[in-house]
Amino acid sequence: MPENRTPAPAQHTPTAYGWCSWHQGYSGGVRLIQVVEQGSGPGGHVFACASCRELHGLVPFADQP
Ligand SMILES: [Zn+2]
């Protein structure tokens, strides 16, 4: 059986492109800040870009104790 799966590119830089909930716009290098759990309504993941993290002193979810 041939191995047809293309190996994922090695990406160690956290340069995900996504929605920043702080300045309400798309930006590169967003990080997950917190996971919102809501019983009703759309919960979800809250992301912030690098400049907003610096501006608001946000700690990425993965870096929190
Ligand atoms: Zn931002």
DSSP 1-65: ----PPPPP---S---EEEETTTTEEEET-EEEEEE--SSS--EEEEE-HHHHHHHT---GGG--
How many whole angstroms from 35 Cα to the centroid of ligand 1? 17
**Ion ligand 1: residues, Cβ under 5 Å:** 20, 22-23, 49, 52
How many whole angstroms from 58 Cα to the centroid of ligand 1? 11
How many whole angstroms from 54 Cα to the centroid of ligand 1? 9
Q: What is the pLDDT of residue 14?
A: 54
Tens-place pLDDT, residues 5-59: 766 655 555 568 999 999 999 999 999 998 877 777 766 889 999 999 999 999 9
Furthest-apart CA pair in the chain: how many Å?
A: 52
Residue 2 has pLDDT above 70, yes or no: no
